[in-house]
Structure 1
Amino acid sequence: MQTTPLSPEDPAQIGGFELLGRIGQGGMGQVYLGESPGGEPAAVKVIKPSVVDSTARLRFAQEIEILKTVWGARIAQLLDADADAEQPWLATEYVEGPDLGKHVMSHGPLPALLVLSLGATLAEGLGYVHKQGLLHRDLKPANILLGPNGPKIIDFGLAVFAESSASLTAANTVVGTPSCMPPEQANGVKPLTSAVDVYALGAVLLFAATGHLPYHARNIHVLFHMVTDPATAPDLTGVPPELVPLLTAMLAHQAQDRPTVTEVVQQCRALVEAQGLKLAQARRRLTTYTVAPPQDFPTLLPAPVSQGSAPVPPALPAQTDAPLPDEAPSAPPVAQESTSDGHPTMFLAPPHQARQEEPPVQSDPATPAPQTAQDEQDKHKAQDGPRQARPSGRSPARSLRHSAQARRTAQQLREAYAARAAF
């Protein structure tokens, strides 16, 4: 996550956690990067004094109780909290890494293999949540953090118990993110089932694979109509063919037509193994790619080699120019509710941004290139006698460019071979 400096109005510590910087903010609260007395980093969420009332405290207390209940390697764990403090706060595990939305907008969609790995990982994590009788209800790209130990799910501010029809929300209002919201949630159906999280996960995987969500419109009323209209199919433009059946099922209009999270894991696993890999290998590649995606990352699948021919260097991933979702309208939505970290949960797709390309690697004339055998021979000839002319077409500038390309190719091959290791 990107951290910005504290402002003069920010406290120096909260609940024993020393505050080091700001992670995010919104209408409801502020999230800080904190550090425990023992040196443990934490994401410290605080409700703004201006919005602290009985309802906000009750909702915050509910989120704390839910975080005490959920567990698993894919959940950012609760460290400490105090809903009764003058300024209520909670501290969770700090995940060093961008959210999925920022990663895709900065580096483009993920390869199909990594989308399958992401799907299996998150579906398994949601399975642990559902075993506790809980629903997340607001799964979206911004709530998936890509950390060094794999993706993690955050923000259970809207989570509820599956069998409960009670709500802290006013009557006739809908909470959640419309672009990732299933039809039954958009229609205000209660109680909801685990199928709402399956649909939202399908929307997340669609975004990871293409850079856009199932439905996108500038007008919130139009967006709600598209989500709830059974005749309007989700936009699967740009989805790799092998992912179409899975995403079509996960984004089914009727809840009973969607697979369970267990079935999602099984289908992702089968598709990965059909490409000759184990799911654990694909997961490691996902983490390697999302933690520090290089500009020239090689293909994640071995290139076919015909018998008797030399190995083919890994190809670079195809770049995509798929348009990103439309920007949310400035007009207020039909019903809007913010989570306790202040981020609105009813909004259109992430703002349209141009792909950010990393600058190409340039050769530094001040840095000598690695010497080849021919260079060594030329060096000795220069020392032992009159310097002989270089062969035609081999200028110093070309030698530098060639060496820089050789270094990049060698690095790509090392990463590709390391990724294929069985352990």
Structure 2
Amino acid sequence: MPIAPLSPHDPTELGGYELLGRIGQGGMGQVYLGESPGGEPAAVKVIKPSVVDSETRQRFAQEVEILKTIWGARIAALLDADPEADRPWLATEYIEGLDLSRHVASHGPLPSLLTASLGATLAEALATVHKQGLLHRDLKPANVLLGPNGPKIIDFGLAVFAESSVSLTAPNTVVGTPSCMPPEQANGEKPLTSAVDVYALGAVLLFAVSGHLPYQAANIHVLFHQVTDPAIAPDLSGVPDELVPLLTAMLAHQAQDRPALDDVVQQCRAVIEAQGFKVAQARRRLTTHTAAPTQILDDLLPPAEAPTVPLSPTGQPDAEAAAASPSTAEPGTAATQILPPTLPEPKPERTPTLVDSPKGQSETPGATDPAQSPPPKPASGPDRAPSSLPAPGSRAKGRGGRPRHSAQARITAQRLREVYAARATF
């Protein structure tokens, strides 16, 4: 996820979280990358001072209560919140990666196999939300984050309890994202049912596989007319044949004509299996294809200074001597600064082909003979080399002036491991 530096008007700390950069904003709030005193990254959402009033606080408090209720592996978890603070805030799990909207804009639409995997994953996640008596009501590509462990759903600011006619919305006011909104929601009908999230998921999958949404118009009034007019069918151009029946059903104008989420999962499974893959294999391919390189702090903080580590006469790092600080070493002790080891430039790897392969072929692209297959890579992420650890810099001291040693210690340990690995005889 792109991270922008803080502006002079941004807070540097909220609720014990040190704020490191901006990761998003909306009409009501700003989202920051924060870090707890123990080093846990978090997405810290803050209501803008210009919109803080009693109704905003009530809506924000409702979002906090809903996030306390929701659980699930594909839901960004609530970490902490204070809706009564001068600047109301909440902190959720930070998911490092692009949202679906940015990923498609940068890399193009997903193949049908990966879109079906995304559909099965998100449908299962929404089913869990519905079992807890909640509706999301604002599912859209920007609210699906493609993290290193798979997609997750965020932003339950418009979520409501199912079958409830109670709302904070003013009469005759529609809230949500019109391009992903089902007709009954656009018409202001209440109460809404789980079918609203089925429709929105269909719009998300349509965008994932084709790069466009069901309806598009420059004028908001024209867009609402397209969404609510049963004679205007959603635009399914660019959708592979195997996904047309499913998306047509999910984007049906009448709520009762849409499939249940369990049926969506089964139909996505059928698309995956028809191409010769298991669901778990498709999930791994989806994660490999969408995972972004680690960059939480690397782009925000300057690089750390290389540690000074004594060497033994054989050229290997001397563990006993390294335990002593250079300032306390005895006179005559040789100390040499170890820079990050210079390793040969890695040969460029062939990008895995994510085009659906026929049945019977190996899941690993290019692997035909197990005896000739390359050795497995270290398990540091799907088909990715281990990323460098974040480096401390100008924020080396935390709140209260307490020095933060954890990041420097991790960097030192990593570089020592690299030195040993480069010089080991085994």
Could you tell me the TM-score, scaled by structure 2's length?
0.71
1:177 aligns with 2:142: no
- Post-superposition offset of 1:278: 1.0
Q: Identify the residue that residue 117 of structure 1 maps to in structure 2.
A: 117
1:301 aligns with 2:356: yes
Q: Identify the residue that residue 96 of structure 2 maps to in structure 1.
A: 96
What is the alpha-carbon distance in structure 1 between the residues aligned to residue 350 and residue 119 of structure 2?
Answer: 24
Q: Identify the residue that residue 137 of structure 1 maps to in structure 2.
A: 137
SS at the partner of 1:227? helix
1:195 aligns with 2:250: no
Q: Identify the residue that residue 7 of structure 1 maps to in structure 2.
A: 7
1:158 aligns with 2:158: yes
Cα displacement string for residues 207-235 of structure 1 (whole angstroms, at most 9, x for unaligned residues)? 00000000001111111111111111100
What is the alpha-carbon distance in structure 2 between the residues aligned to residue 3 and residue 39 of structure 1?
Answer: 17
Q: Identify the residue that residue 236 of structure 2 maps to in structure 1.
A: 236
Counterpart code for 2:291: V
Cα displacement string for residues 41-64 of structure 1 (whole angstroms, at most 9, x for unaligned residues)? 000000111211100000000000
Q: Identify the residue that residue 54 of structure 1 maps to in structure 2.
A: 54
- Post-superposition offset of 1:8: 1.5
% of aligned pairs identical?
77
Counterpart code for 1:248: T
What is the alpha-carbon distance in structure 1 between the residues aligned to residue 166 and residue 189 of structure 2?
Answer: 12
Q: Identify the residue that residue 334 of structure 1 maps to in structure 2.
A: none
Shift in CA distance, 304/113, structure 1 to aligned 2, threshold 3 Å: closer
What is the alpha-carbon distance in structure 1 between the residues aligned to residue 201 and residue 292 of structure 2?
Answer: 24
SS at the partner of 1:44? strand
What is the alpha-carbon distance in structure 2 between the residues aligned to residue 295 and residue 85 of structure 1?
Answer: 51
- Post-superposition offset of 1:298: 1.0
Q: Identify the residue that residue 250 of structure 1 maps to in structure 2.
A: 250
Shift in CA distance, 216/149, structure 1 to aligned 2, threshold 3 Å: same
Worse-superposed segment, 72-81 or 4-13: 4-13
Q: How does 1:16-415 map to 2 (within 5 A)?
A: 16-292=16-292, 296-302=351-357
- Post-superposition offset of 1:303: 5.1
- Post-superposition offset of 1:305: 9.1
Please, what is the CA RMSD of the aligned residues?
2.5
Shift in CA distance, 47/299, structure 1 to aligned 2, threshold 3 Å: closer
- Post-superposition offset of 1:89: 0.3
- Post-superposition offset of 1:112: 0.2
SS at the partner of 1:32? strand
Cα displacement string for residues 74-95 of structure 1 (whole angstroms, at most 9, x for unaligned residues)? 1000000001111110000000
Q: Identify the residue that residue 326 of structure 1 maps to in structure 2.
A: none
Asked whether the equivalents of residues 148 and 292 of structure 2 are also in contact (C-alpha less than 8 Å), the reply is no
Could you tell me the TM-score, scaled by structure 1's length?
0.71
What is the alpha-carbon distance in structure 2 between the residues aligned to residue 267 and residue 226 of structure 1?
Answer: 27
What is the alpha-carbon distance in structure 1 between the residues aligned to residue 231 and residue 53 of structure 2?
Answer: 43
What is the alpha-carbon distance in structure 2 between the residues aligned to residue 64 and residue 85 of structure 1?
Answer: 13
What is the alpha-carbon distance in structure 2 between the residues aligned to residue 313 and residue 29 of structure 1?
Answer: 47
- Post-superposition offset of 1:295: 9.2
Structure 1 segments, 4+ long, off by >2 Å, are 292-297, 299-306
SS at the partner of 2:32? strand
Asked whether the equivalents of residues 77 and 92 of structure 2 are also in contact (C-alpha less than 8 Å), the reply is yes
Counterpart code for 2:269: R
Counterpart code for 1:40: E
What is the alpha-carbon distance in structure 2 between the residues aligned to residue 313 and residue 91 of structure 1?
Answer: 43
Cα displacement string for residues 105-148 of structure 1 (whole angstroms, at most 9, x for unaligned residues)? 11100000000000000000001100011000000000000000
Counterpart code for 1:65: E
Counterpart code for 2:272: V
- Post-superposition offset of 1:273: 1.3
Asked whether the equivalents of residues 275 and 358 of structure 2 are also in contact (C-alpha less than 8 Å), the reply is no
What is the alpha-carbon distance in structure 2 between the residues aligned to residue 203 and residue 213 of structure 1?
Answer: 6
- Post-superposition offset of 1:300: 4.0
What is the alpha-carbon distance in structure 1 between the residues aligned to residue 84 and residue 165 of structure 2?
Answer: 26
Asked whether the equivalents of residues 206 and 214 of structure 2 are also in contact (C-alpha less than 8 Å), the reply is yes
SS at the partner of 1:102? helix
What is the alpha-carbon distance in structure 2 between the residues aligned to residue 188 and residue 137 of structure 1?
Answer: 12
What is the alpha-carbon distance in structure 1 between the residues aligned to residue 241 and residue 165 of structure 2?
Answer: 39
Cα displacement string for residues 341-389 of structure 1 (whole angstroms, at most 9, x for unaligned residues)? xxxxxxxxxxxxxxxxxxxxxxxxxxxxxxxxxxxxxxxxxxxxxxxxx
- Post-superposition offset of 1:7: 1.2
SS at the partner of 1:157? coil
Residue segments in structure 2 that go unaligned for 5+ positions in a row: 294-348, 368-372, 384-426
What is the alpha-carbon distance in structure 2 between the residues aligned to residue 304 and residue 136 of structure 1?
Answer: 37
Shift in CA distance, 305/43, structure 1 to aligned 2, threshold 3 Å: closer
Shift in CA distance, 263/303, structure 1 to aligned 2, threshold 3 Å: closer
Residue segments in structure 1 that go unaligned for 5+ positions in a row: 307-311, 315-409
SS at the partner of 2:256? helix
Counterpart code for 1:298: T
- Post-superposition offset of 1:270: 1.6
SS at the partner of 2:72? coil
SS at the partner of 1:105? helix
SS at the partner of 2:125? helix
What is the alpha-carbon distance in structure 2 between the residues aligned to residue 15 and residue 224 of structure 1?
Answer: 40
- Post-superposition offset of 1:12: 1.6
SS at the partner of 1:55? helix
What is the alpha-carbon distance in structure 2 between the residues aligned to residue 272 and residue 251 of structure 1?
Answer: 21
